[in-house]
Chains A and B, each alone.
Chain A
């Protein structure tokens, strides 16, 4: 086991024993495990698969979620997000998505509406890494249709690859296609190239 993994296992155990510990281990994760993209060959900025510190923070949230009731989980998630910098906010969002994928039974009570509010907050930012982290499996499952369609458009605007968007094929509908058609029309009127990701979501593709 490397020193990085050693630290992460120890931190996760500490959080399981005393969930309050997450307030101090969460911010330092990047310094302890690094910040490199998990799949550098295909995902240089860690938008699609995240980064080492994203994965570490998701693991810490997983550890915390098994040790607290839904109300406390909600409070701690909100606290970590609101008191965190961009990397910690990403970690919270990726943690929510990890829970949605692997421990959906822990997403009960107020955890889901609070998580949705955090995703909506991140989707108002113009930081591609934050936006990418906010359109993962948690948002794919719980974000309302209107907000989710705007999230897809936001990815197109910021150049975030649509490969990051969970459940895109299942949720893409005629209304999304209409919005993407409008986006493509504006790009064409301005004499700008239409990205392949946008072309794939137009109404023509839907038919």
Chain B
């Protein structure tokens, strides 16, 4: 099974995870910029984080045979701290970098005025830089937040076919399907969605315009729930072609082949690895 995880926060994971992911068939992923658990209080810590996403983390993933891409944004939660707002003026210089494939995560957390402004402004950046947009749907008041996100998407003028509304569930999927946007689902061990509920949604809504991700991060989560969903699909009678569509072709279509780098990493299987600014993650291994 070839897997592209369209939403996973590898910064918060270990090299064991990269190894398990490669063994499970993961060959590419997208890491959206988000909140780190401890609130950031200034622009500089965002910039170091963005630099890590287009630098160190790409390198770390490559040492395990996985192509790493990212989406960049000022996330909705931290959009509420005025000290972080100037991130918006720094963002454009990153958007042409290799590995940056979308604007995100944007959207709503508490549906405040500050979130409204930052969400709309970043959708305009997506239009201007011809990038897709990854929209996080809120945990609280989720259906109202999803509807309001779709309103903001409509007002922005971006093609809804270039927007994914993520973290959907049984209650919120319909409005997104009807709006023509992509439907994102995060499969978690005990919150959000699980593989069997995901299969039920795929039976009802089909396999088009659907992205399945692990959204694994620093919380209780599992980078292999993409694989588990593929297995559950096969057990429920979906074909291998349908599994390949959901777990590989759909993310490639959504993020776009112009921006993605998907050719296999040269020499990886032979154990060859390089260094990043002189540093290897192999701890005692000898980089070639």
Q: Which residues of B contact A150 (CB under 8 A)?
A: 110-111, 140-141
Please name the residue on chain A nearest to B145 by beta carbon: A182
* B105-123 near A? 1/0 per residue, CB < 8 Å: 0000111100000000000
Query: Is B96 an interface position by the 8 A CB rule?
Result: no
Task: Determine the interface band of chain B, counting residues with CB < 8 A from chain A.
Answer: 20 to 34
Q: Is the CB of A186 within 8 A of B77?
A: no
The answer to whether B169 and A190 touch across the interface, beta carbons within 8 angstroms, is: yes
The main secondary structure of chain A at its interface with chain B is: helix
Query: Is B41 located at the chain interface by the 8 A CB criterion?
Result: yes
Check if B37 sits within 8 Å of A126, measured CB to CB.
yes
Q: Total A-B residue pairs with C-beta atoms closer than 8 Å?
A: 51
> Please, how many residues of chain A have a CB less than 8 angstroms from a CB on the other chain?
20
Of A9-17, A22-30, A117-125, A162-170, the one contacting chain B is A117-125
Is A172 interfacial (CB 8 A cutoff)? Answer: no
State whether the Cβ of B170 lies closer than 8 Å to any Cβ in chain A.
Answer: yes
A125 is contacted by which of B39, B143, B193, B197 (Cβ under 8 Å)?
Answer: B39
Is A182 a contact of B169 with CB atoms below 8 Å? no
Per-residue CB contact flags for chain A residues 111-135 toward chain B (1 = under 8 Å, else 0) read 0000000001100111000000000
Q: How far is the CB of A144 from chain B (nearest CB, A)?
A: 10
CB within 8 Å of A: which B1-60 residues: 37, 39, 41
Residues of B within 8 A of A183 (CB): 140, 142
Q: Is B81 an interface residue (CB 8 A)?
A: yes
Question: For the complex, what is the distance from the CA of A4 to the CA of B110, rounded to whole Å?
Answer: 41
Give 27 pairs: A residue, B residue, CB < 8 Å, sorted on A.
A82-B41, A124-B109, A124-B110, A126-B219, A146-B110, A150-B141, A153-B140, A153-B141, A154-B140, A179-B140, A179-B141, A179-B144, A182-B141, A182-B142, A183-B140, A183-B142, A185-B143, A186-B169, A186-B170, A186-B171, A189-B169, A189-B170, A189-B171, A190-B169, A190-B193, A190-B197, A191-B197
